Structure 1
Amino acid sequence: MTDIVISAQTATEGEHRSLNFIPGSNFLGILASELYNNTENETQNYDIFHSGKVRFGDAHILYNNQRSFQVPFSWFYPKGGKLTGDEIFMSDFMKSESRTHLIDKGIVLKQARDGYFTSEGIFLSPKKIYTQKSGYDSEQRRSRENAMFGYEALTEGSDWQFAVDIDNVDISNDIINLIKKNLTGEKLLGRSKTAEFGRVVIKFIDSVDVKSSIIIPKHQFLFLYAESRLVFRDKETGQPTYTPAPEDLGMPLGANILWERSQIRTGMYAPWNGKRNSRDEDRVFIEKGSVFTVEVTDAQEYSTEGIVKGVGYYRTEGFGKLLVDPDFLDFDQETGKLILSLKYPPPDDKNEVAAPETILIKWIKQQELKQHSDKDGVLREVDNFIHDYGDKFSNVTKSQWGSVRSRATQAKDADVLMKNLFARPDQDKQTTEGDLYHGVSENQWTEGRDIFEERIKTLMQQKVNVLLFVEKLAARMQKKGGDQ
């Protein structure tokens, strides 16, 4: 109904960065504000808020009634590209041939970290708005000096979904109905609820049962995807740890975490307790989106009851949720390519505001399409040149190709690059020789220099991006290091 402020930190000054999800502790707090003051039924309060039998999950943005997931950190995509449209790889499971193929094409992979997606591959980013505020001096009846701060908020009008997990065997239907009644309707959550933020409407959707077991084949790799943030403690010291044991993740005996094939990110924050109006102790956690790779050595049917109820600490507040082998981590065993591909929602979707089709917008879109096609054309030219003439440069060293690449990235246009590489003293009264005609390195360039120069001139006439061509060519040849 209104923008909501879900700050990543509990600080009261400076910038307030918003989370991309709504932590389950907010829904626990809503219910506690309705029920906890009822001291006549302490057993009921204990069952709901302290027993661990009722767990309030995080809320994630919805698209077409499908919930979204944080992008897994095991996804990698080409640097400079996008998750939408480009190929996505499970880098830790790529074979050397596939990795070499990418290197030969000058492609460097980058870890995916931000964004959400649905099971159908729709890529989402929750919309946010930033509001600047100032503290108020009630005595002077004006803004307080040196008390500026800002809120980043999740925008109104979006749909979100969360789940409340309840152990039906231990919790009566009367308590379940009480939870539904007091958790639905118009509520307030987040920060600045007494101002213009935090008003939401919560509706009950449906009840579902959860599968209690899976069959694990021997020597099977399992992926454990952190659906929520995870908190673990060392069993001996009681201190927080980022390296849980397999049994901490609900895995059976004989399981082994393959850390070299896992992708983990961590964080820390100090939670705010509204009842005590103070902060709790700092929590160090493993970020949602982290992926554990686990090897199981014994074939068995394995109960996932421990995982369904959550792992680690603070499960009542939405921590500790894992997914076992979700479909969105399936990949081609030969190439390491992800089976799922991502795309943006249609521009008329309510989560994505369509840009007006002005003349300027149309021109910008045309330029983006042209740049994309230009880059593809340049890469094809690079492939063709290496195929046809790569052996002409067998004497050129990696450092010499590195110098050429540096010239291409620093030159302001193709003419400057041509002079820097190919100028002779008798050309245009120039006294400085080009790099390929200068010093002891000239002999290494002799066999292929003229071919290189003529190809660049031809591409200039064809209006091809010569700077990009030379940059990509030099990068490829530098990696080959003269062993064409």
Structure 2
Amino acid sequence: MTIQYFVLTTLDPIVVSESNATVNNQMSLDFIPGSALLGALAGRLYRELSDEQSWALFHSGAWRFGPCYPLQDNRLALPVPLSWHHQKHAPVVAPQTSQFAEHITNHAHTGFVREANTQYVQMRADYVTAGAQRIRVSRGQNTKTALSAQTGKVAPGQLFTYGHIDPGQQFVGFVAMDPQNTELQQRVTNALNGEFRIGRARSNEYGRVRIQTIEYALPEVSDEPDRLTLWCLSDCAFVDAQGMYHVMPCGEDIHPQLKGASLDTRHSFIRAHTLSRFNQKRGGFDSEQRVITRGSVLSFRLSSAVPRQVLHEISQNGIGTDKQFGQGWVMVNPAWATQSNPCREAVFCCDDIPTCGAQSLSAEAIRNLSTPLIDWLRAQGTREQQLRERAMWVREQVTTLLTYYRQARSYNHVLPSYQAGPSQNQWRRIADLLNHASDDWFERAFGRDGVADKDSDHICKASNDDYGWGIRWQGVDGFTHFAEASKSLFCNADGSAIELVLARQLLEQICRYELATPGGLKDMKALLDKQKAQSNEEVTQ
């Protein structure tokens, strides 16, 4: 087989669902299946090819369209083997890194011995690079609603959710070509370069990808004298003599020259699932198939050494049936198969992927993209960030004000049944002033520097209000009163007045409760804690 590798970059969210069902919310796959690429290429080439060429490329099974797996830092990531286990409650990755922990064990290794009183957990997710780095594909969900064709309005009860692969990520895939058809090879290679739409909902802002072919080849396989280990990099399907699908292959199912090989069930780790493919010709689903899940490990005992040519054919041609959909891709005798602790050395042999020819989207490039929509979204993000910062500043100022109230009550030994500090009505006088204020709102609220209270008509006067604006206490910088302390809340660091919009937001928060009473202080504290928790949750999301 002639294998053409390519780098696929997601430009839009890609909807590749785990199920083809049209009801309920569908979860997204974390890879791009080969059938998606087969369909995209068929849409571009089918009308241009002759019937014979179309049959050879898309229907004969001689051409294989492999799954696309994530690429990060020029390194290909492959499904984590199911023979890998970690100790229960122990971290899977090293602290503050994405490297798999060294305590992870490979139970397919013949020399592995289980530790007493240790519980092991099978690893069934994520991807691993040759350097034992854990890779996760970024995914998301979008919820939409259907529109009624009769009214043009939202149809009741018609919410649906798309799970998708996020844009801006790179994947590596391949097409295994028939070496005897050089003309068709060239046409497919040329057609692979460019933009495609794949997956579901392609007419609704989803599915756009860019593909660039690259020159690459996986390293040659290694051989072992008495054992054959196959790492299933994609789903694998096997059919017995009666035409039934099964998940316990014998040596002959792998290659005709492996008749003497037997499956070692003790050191094999197989998971399976069922699927039914839709047959467009018949307008219905095919028979249910039971296939071995990607990541499974098949270990065979050998009666005699296997020629390297046989191992090469298994690696190049794949195993099982339905290989045109990307099934049957395996790695023969990977490096981790000879290690009890596979993450201490190279997991598998793989050179860095050359992406110089592929158009990758770096984080900086994405930040520099400029379209009307992207510019509007950036402006919205900046506005939301400003709103969060203002809300945080208001909470900090109100928290400081609560401290003033408590210090004043404590210093003056005010009983809980009495009020201490400015009342809610006094704060509302300032709020009313700001709603109709001119540029001199700050002086009308707190007075001018160097002008006595008796010579001014501002609101916050310490004189003749001993338990309101004039209540005093011992602060950090000496004695102070509420009029002076409150003034500092509405000042910038240079002593100038804060923006009018900030002052209004601050007073809106202050006027919610009667802070001159212990009950009002308690209610305000609960409100601030709730707002802080909601803000932290929004940032986390």
Q: 1:190 to 1:83 in 2, by over 3 A?
A: same
Asked if the contact 1:73–1:111 (Cα under 8 Å) also holds between the matched residues in 2, the reply is yes
Question: Does the alignment pair 1:195 with 2:211?
Answer: no
Asked if the contact 1:10–1:270 (Cα under 8 Å) also holds between the matched residues in 2, the reply is no
Asked if the contact 2:85–2:105 (Cα under 8 Å) also holds between the matched residues in 1, the reply is yes
Asked if the contact 1:52–1:316 (Cα under 8 Å) also holds between the matched residues in 2, the reply is yes
CA deviation digits over 1:227-251, x for unaligned, max 9?
A: 110111121x211111122111226
Question: Does the alignment pair 1:53 with 2:69?
Answer: no
Q: Is the deviation greater in 311-320 or in 28-37?
A: 28-37
Matches within 5 A, 1:124-163: 124-163=135-174
The structural deviation recorded for 1:55 is: 0.9
Matches within 5 A, 1:76-475: 76-85=85-94, 86=101, 87-93=103-109, 99-100=115-116, 103=117, 107-168=118-179, 170-172=180-182, 174-206=183-215, 208=217, 211=220, 215-217=223-225, 220-235=226-241, 237-250=242-255, 252-272=258-278, 279-302=285-308, 303-304=310-311, 305-332=313-340, 338-340=343-345
CA deviation digits over 1:301-329, x for unaligned, max 9?
A: 24231442121111011001111111133
Whole-Å separation in 2 of the counterparts to 1:44 and 1:97: 54
Whole-Å separation in 1 of the counterparts to 2:343 and 2:338: 6
Whole-Å separation in 1 of the counterparts to 2:213 and 2:342: 38
Asked if the contact 1:30–1:183 (Cα under 8 Å) also holds between the matched residues in 2, the reply is no
CA deviation digits over 1:238-291, x for unaligned, max 9?
A: 111111221112262211110121101111233346788764443321110000
Gaps of 5+ in 2: 1-10, 95-100, 348-361, 365-384, 386-541
Q: 1:180 to 1:191 in 2, by over 3 A?
A: same
Aligned length: 333
Asked if the contact 1:328–1:339 (Cα under 8 Å) also holds between the matched residues in 2, the reply is no
* Amino acid aligned to 2:292: I
1:203 match: secondary structure: strand
Whole-Å separation in 2 of the counterparts to 1:240 and 1:97: 33
Higher Cα radius of gyration = 2
Q: Is the deviation greater in 88-97 or in 316-325?
A: 88-97
The structural deviation recorded for 1:89 is: 0.7
Whole-Å separation in 1 of the counterparts to 2:288 and 2:173: 25
TM-score (normalised: structure 1): 0.63
Give the structure 2 partner of residue 372 of structure 1: none
Whole-Å separation in 1 of the counterparts to 2:119 and 2:28: 30
TM-score (normalised: structure 2): 0.57
Whole-Å separation in 1 of the counterparts to 2:283 and 2:113: 58
The structural deviation recorded for 1:165 is: 1.0
Asked if the contact 1:116–1:124 (Cα under 8 Å) also holds between the matched residues in 2, the reply is yes
The structural deviation recorded for 1:182 is: 1.9
1:26 paired residue among 36, 45, 52: 36
Query: What is the CA RMSD across the aligned residues, in angstroms?
Result: 2.8
Q: 1:294 to 1:96 in 2, by over 3 A?
A: closer
Asked if the contact 1:47–1:171 (Cα under 8 Å) also holds between the matched residues in 2, the reply is no
Q: 1:146 to 1:75 in 2, by over 3 A?
A: same
1:8 paired residue among 5, 18, 23: 18
Whole-Å separation in 1 of the counterparts to 2:84 and 2:194: 38
Give the structure 2 partner of residue 387 of structure 1: none
Of all paired residues, the percent bearing the same amino acid is 26
CA deviation digits over 1:135-188, x for unaligned, max 9?
A: 2211121222332221110000001110111132x221x211110222221110
* Amino acid aligned to 2:158: A
Whole-Å separation in 1 of the counterparts to 2:119 and 2:39: 45
Q: 1:96 to 1:226 in 2, by over 3 A?
A: closer
1:196 match: secondary structure: coil
Whole-Å separation in 1 of the counterparts to 2:75 and 2:194: 21
Asked if the contact 2:132–2:343 (Cα under 8 Å) also holds between the matched residues in 1, the reply is no
Q: Is the deviation greater in 128-137 or in 285-294?
A: 128-137
Whole-Å separation in 1 of the counterparts to 2:41 and 2:228: 36
Gaps of 5+ in 1: 343-348, 357-484
Q: 1:83 to 1:10 in 2, by over 3 A?
A: same
Q: 1:50 to 1:117 in 2, by over 3 A?
A: same
* Amino acid aligned to 1:226: C
1:261 match: secondary structure: coil
Asked if the contact 2:336–2:346 (Cα under 8 Å) also holds between the matched residues in 1, the reply is no
The structural deviation recorded for 1:300 is: 4.1
